[in-house]
Structure formats: structure tokens, C-alpha cells
């Protein structure tokens, strides 16, 4: 597969402030690429530059091998679904979806067939005549996406399209969106600050922080092998420990916990351990597994996501431990002490 989009050394300055700093990436044709970062890190600015609404300060946007320098938004083969949907409230579903096609002065027959096809793709057949104000959040969302996709863009840019929906609907829509993308094969560039959305939907994710890309990787690699402390802390849950010093192979945390790790780093500053990396009552003789004692402070029941809040014995370090699926935790109680283990590869130092 060839690259449909290449971003080269892209920088955007607003006066002295650098909103996007030397960003580089490429996206394969038909891919689902997400940009994940917290509020204000520059995500929308980057998307607006790709769409042509904002000129770059330096660098280049290349679509299908062609530089977009000086190409206005309406001439770019991209379409954007905005952070706030901006449907036309005085128009019904059909009119909203047909809006862009009418401006292309296509025949009514062609407009009808494209609108109908798109509405059925997003599961809204029969809704043509409904007022958009009478739709649910998820249905409005689908109208907004249909309105963009009906223009057959090479690339669809989506700026936090699920941001306004409640949690349950977001969970549902993120699965639908991924299935829709797979079915139609349009390249999606998806912006979000929700790591679960990015992990579930994407082929590749760029983690953005203060205008820069920290890491571009598959969801799995991002989760398993974060390259920077920021990514380790931002993607997924982690226990974080400040390190005061190392002695030989031993890491010593600020709150007095010593744990062995054959760290390749000279002076790591911080240690991350995922809650699910901790093994309760590890069997003896496991290689490269460090074991230590903990005391249960409380059990945080959350269905399949239940965790133990603990302290590491002999220290004031707090440690969150995920219980394995189907774990028998009837026997666990507050104040109880247990042995836990962690594989040294799951000790991430930065
Ligand atoms: N036109 C502008 N003039 C000056 N500063 C701007 C302008 N547009 C954006 N910024 C600044 O650039 C930074 C990045 O803004 P941007 O909208 O790209 O963030 P974002 O990552 O999309 O955030 P959010 O998740 O809240 O939407 C912010 O600090 C913002 O204040
Ligand atoms: Mg934004």
C-alpha cells in the first residue's frame, strides 16, 4: 500500500507560540491513523493545516504525492468532521447529506442515489425526512459523517467527533466507526484525547504532547513499549514511581522501595508498572520475576476491571494491582498481606 498522506517537518507558530513543532508522519491508503493528545497540544491546529484552513509556518503537506502548498481547502481531496458537528438545524437529514453534492451541481438522480447509498451505509435508511434536531446524539453523529463521506474524499479528517456524546454511546460509536471505515476503505485521520478510542480504532497512533509527536506506533506497541515517560503515563493505566537513585542493578524509589532490574539506562528517573503486570502469589522459581510483599488497603470492585489498592510492604509506596479475569477474590480482604511478582521486562524505566 502506498502513502496517501505525508507530513514533512510541519511547524505552526502563532506569534512566539509554537502550536505544532516539526511534525513528521505518513499514512497508508485506507489506513486509520489517530492523533492522541491532551487539550491544547495542537491536534486541531494540525488537522486544520492538513485541510488547508490554516497555513503552515514551515514544512509541507503532501497528498497522493502532490504538495498542497497554496491549494485552497475546497480543492484538497479531504473532508473534515468538526469537533462540534455543525449540522444545519433547519434542514432534514437528506438535505444535510446532500448539501455538498448540490454545490457540485450534480443531477438530482445522482445526488439521490449517493445520498441513499450513504444513509444506508451509516444505518439511517428511512430517516431522510427527519429533522436533524429530532435525532439522538449518535444519529446526528452519523449524519455528520455521512455528509462528509458522500463527497468521496480521499482522506476524512475527524476532530474529536465523539466528544459530545455520553460514555455509553461513545463506546458503541467507536466500534461502529471502525467497522464503517473498514467497509468503505476511506483513509481516516482521527483526533482524540481519549486513549481508549485511539487504541480500539487505529492502525497507528501518534501521541502528541506540546506540539510534538512523542511516538508513532501500532496500538499494541504503544501500550507494550512506550518510548518516553510521557507515553508510558498517558497511554493506559500505570503505577508511577519517582526514583531517588540506583545501586548496581537495584532501583530505589523516593519512598524507600528497592527493586531489582537489570536496567540498561545509566540514571533512570522514573519507573512505570502497569497494574495488570503484577502477578499475585507467583509460583516459585520463575525466572526474571521480582517478588515482594504488599498490603491490601482496599478492593476496588469494578466488574471485570477490579483492582487492589495496596502499599508495598516496608514502604509508603502505593501500588494498584489489576485482578486477573475470573479471579477468586472472595478470599481477599483489607489489611491482608500477599506476595506479588513482576517480570523485569514490565519494569519500564525512563
Ligand atoms: N488562531 C490562534 N491564535 C493563537 N493561538 C492559537 C490559535 N489557534 C490555536 N492556538 C493555540 O494553539 C494551541 C493548540 O490549539 P489546538 O486547538 O490545536 O489544541 P487541541 O489539541 O485541538 O486542543 P483541544 O483538545 O482542547 O481541542 C493552544 O494553546 C491554542 O491556544
Ligand atoms: Mg481541538
CA of 22 to the centre of ligand 2 (A): 19
- The pLDDT tens digits along the chain (350 residues) read 689 999 999 999 999 999 999 999 999 999 999 999 999 999 999 999 999 999 999 999 999 999 999 999 999 999 998 877 678 999 999 999 999 999 888 999 999 999 999 998 888 899 999 999 999 888 888 899 899 999 989 999 999 988 877 888 888 888 888 998 998 899 999 999 999 999 999 999 999 999 999 999 999 999 999 999 999 999 999 999 999 988 888 999 999 999 988 777 778 999 999 999 999 999 988 899 999 999 999 999 888 889 999 999 999 999 999 998 777 777 889 999 999 999 999 999 99
Nearest C-alpha neighbor of 177 from the set 148, 213, 154: 148
- Going by C-alpha positions, the residue among 209, 212, 147, 252 that lies closest to residue 12 is 212
How far apart (Å, rounded) are the C-alpha atoms in residues 202 and 160? 14
The residue whose C-alpha atom lies closest to atom 6 belonging to ligand 1 is: 14
Which of 20, 37, 43, 81 has the most ligand 1 atoms within 8 A of CB, as the residue to mutate?
Answer: 43
CATH 3.30.465.10 fits 237-349, yes or no: no
Sheet containing strand 58-63, edge to edge, reads 17-28, 3-14, 58-63, 66-67
- pLDDT tens digits along 275-316: 999 999 999 888 999 999 999 999 998 888 899 999 999 999
Kindly report the backbone phi and psi dihedral angles of residue 265, in degrees, each rounded to the nearest multiple of 5, phi listed first: -85, 145
Quote the strand ranges of 182-323, DSSP E.
187-192, 204-209, 212-217, 239-247, 250-253, 258-260, 270-273, 278-280, 289-300, 307-312, 318-322
Q: Which of 34, 40, 214 to mutate to test the pocket of ligand 1 (most atoms within 8 A of CB)?
A: 40
- Please state the atom number of ligand 1 nearest to the C-alpha of residue 14: 4
Instruction: Note whether 223 and 67 are within 8 A (CB).
Output: no
| Residue list, ligand 1 pocket, CB within 6 Å | 14, 19, 37, 39-45, 193
- Going by alpha carbons, the residue nearest to atom 17 of ligand 1 is 44
192 CA distance to ligand 2 centroid (A)?
8
The x, y and z cell numbers of residue 269, run together, are 528517573
12/28 Cα distance (integer angstroms) = 24
Give the integer Cα–Cα distance in Å for 301 and 130: 43
- The closest of 231, 187, 230 to 33, measured between CA atoms, is 187
In this prediction the pTM is 0.90
Pocket test for ligand 1, best of 13, 45, 83, 164 (most atoms within 8 A of CB): 45
Cβ count within 10 A of residue 245: 11
What is the position in ligand 1's atom list of the atom closest to the CA of 47? 18
Q: Kindly give the distance from the C-alpha atom of residue 37 to the centroid of ligand 2, in angstroms, as a whole number.
A: 10
> What are 141-181's pLDDT values in tens digits?
889 989 999 998 999 999 998 887 788 888 888 888 899 89
For ligand 1, atom 26, the nearest C-alpha belongs to 39
Mutate to test the pocket of ligand 1, among 10, 11, 17, 19 (most ligand atoms within 8 A of CB): 19
Where are the CATH 3.40.50.300 domain residues in the chain?
3-233
Element (DSSP H or E) covering residue 3: strand 3-14
> 2 C-alpha vs ligand 2 centroid, how far in Å?
28
Ligand 2 centroid–CA 57 distance in Å is 19
Q: How far is the CA of 20 from the centre of ligand 2 (A)?
A: 13
Residue ranges of the alpha helices (H) in the chain?
Answer: 43-51, 93-103, 108-121, 137-149, 167-184, 195-201, 219-224, 229-234
Atom of ligand 1 nearest to the CA of 46: 18
What is the Cα–Cα distance from 141 to 150, expressed in whole angstroms? 14
Domain formed by 3-233, architecture: 3-Layer(aba) Sandwich (3.40)
Ligand 1 nearest atom to the CA of residue 45, by list position: 18
CATH 2.40.50.140 positions along the chain are: 237-349
Q: Give me the pLDDT at residue 111, please.
A: 95
Amino acid at each position: 500500500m502506498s502513502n496517501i498522506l505525508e507530513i514533512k517537518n510541519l511547524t505552526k507558530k502563532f506569534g512566539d507560540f509554537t502550536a505544532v513543532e516539526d511534525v513528521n508522519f505518513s499514512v497508508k491508503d485506507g489506513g486509520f491513523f489517530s492523533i492522541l493528545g491532551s487539550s491544547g497540544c495542537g491536534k486541531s491546529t494540525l488537522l486544520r493545516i492538513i485541510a488547508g484552513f490554516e497555513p503552515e509556518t514551515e514544512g509541507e503537506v503532501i497528498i497522493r504525492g502532490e504538495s498542497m502548498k497554496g491549494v485552497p481547502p475546497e480543492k484538497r481531496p479531504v473532508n473534515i468532521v468538526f469537533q462540534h458537528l455543525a449540522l444545519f438545524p433547519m434542514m432534514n437529514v437528506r438535505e444535510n447529506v446532500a448539501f455538498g453534492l448540490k454545490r457540485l451541481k450534480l443531477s438530482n438522480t445522482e445526488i439521490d442515489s449517493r445520498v441513499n447509498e450513504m444513509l444506508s451505509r451509516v444505518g439511517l435508511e428511512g430517516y431522510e425526512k427527519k429533522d436533524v434536531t429530532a435525532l439522538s446524539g449518535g444519529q446526528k453523529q452519523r449524519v455528520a459523517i455521512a455528509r462528509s463521506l458522500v463527497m468521496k474524499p480521499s482522506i476524512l479528517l475527524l476532530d474529536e467527533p465523539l466528544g459530545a456524546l455520553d460514555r455509553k454511546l461513545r463506546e458503541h460509536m467507536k466500534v461502529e466507526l471502525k467497522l464503517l471505515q473498514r467497509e468503505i476503505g476511506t483513509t481516516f485521520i482521527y483526533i482524540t484525547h481519549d486513549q481508549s478510542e485511539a487504541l480500539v480504532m487505529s492502525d497507528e497512533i501518534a501521541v502528541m504532547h506540546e506540539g510534538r509527536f512523542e511516538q508513532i506506533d501500532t496500538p499494541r506497541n504503544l501500550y507494550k513499549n512506550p518510548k518516553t515517560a510521557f507515553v508510558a503515563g498517558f497511554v493506559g493505566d500505570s503505577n508511577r514511581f519517582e526514583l531517588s537513585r540506583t545501586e548496581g542493578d537495584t532501583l530505589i524509589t523516593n519512598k524507600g522501595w528497592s527493586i531489582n532490574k537489570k536496567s540498561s539506562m545509566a540514571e533512570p528517573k522514573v519507573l512505570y508498572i502497569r497494574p495488570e503486570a503484577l502477578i499475585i502469589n507467583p509460583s516459585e522459581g520463575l525466572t526474571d520475576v521480582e517478588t515482594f510483599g504488599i498490603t491490601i488497603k482496599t478492593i476496588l470492585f469494578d466488574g471485570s476491571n477490579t483492582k487492589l489498592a495496596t502499599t508495598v510492604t516496608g514502604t509508603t509506596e502505593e501500588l494498584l494491582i489489576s485482578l486477573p479475569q475470573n479471579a477468586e477474590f472472595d478470599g481477599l480482604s483489607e489489611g491482608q498481606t500477599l506476595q506479588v511478582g513482576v517480570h523485569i521486562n514490565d519494569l519500564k524505566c525512563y
